[in-house]
Amino acid sequence: MAKELKTKENDLPVEDFIDSLDNEKQKEQSYTLLELFKSISGSEARMWGGSIIGYGHYDYVYSSGQSGTWMRGGFSPRKGKFSLYIMSGFSHYGEILGRLGKYKTGKSCLYINKLEDVDLEVLKELIAGSFQFMKEKYPEGA
């Protein structure tokens, strides 16, 4: 069940999850990100597993034949940092990343310690670009 919950959209209340965070500053910043992603995506926040807040969804099929449904973007407050899911990846955002501030990246994850470490206007630009990319690549998703 834990693996199923980890990768699936569910009905757990987003606000209950945020309110359960121990760190008050991270809780406050999670609410900021909640509204930022909602305003950019036009979607309501949904829990994906027990700790990921996602917006929209799309269906994918890999060349291996594996398929599934995943969020179009979102974030997760983790111990001491935020993981932001930028589903388009970062290869075509060099100029934007150069203006962002302090961060690290993974394949589709942007890691920031706190919102003060980045320029919020640039972060909005990056998130909006990712949602636009996903809309073009997967127009049938929500």
Over range 117-121, report the average pLDDT: 98
pLDDT-derived band at 4, boundaries 50, 70, 90:
very low
Q: What is the pLDDT of residue 46?
A: 97
Give residue 108's domain range: 2-137
Query: Per the domain annotation, does 142 fall within a domain?
Result: no
Contact 44, 77 (CB under 8 A): no
For residue 139, give every residue at least 6 positions away whose Cβ sits within 8 Å of its Cβ, in sequence order, or none. Answer: none
Q: Indicate the DSSP class of residue 108.
A: S
pLDDT confidence bin for 7, thresholds 50/70/90: low
Domain-embedded: residue 67: yes
Contact, 104 vs 118, CB < 8 A?
A: no
**Model confidence over 10-54: pLDDT tens digits?**
999 999 999 999 999 999 999 999 999 999 999 999 999 999 999
Please give the tally of structural domains in the chain.
1
Residue 30 sits in a domain whose CATH number is 3.90.1150.200
Whether pLDDT at 3 is above 80:
no
14 close to 46: Cβ distance less than 8 angstroms: yes
Do 31 and 23 meet the contact criterion of CB atoms below 8 Å apart? Answer: no
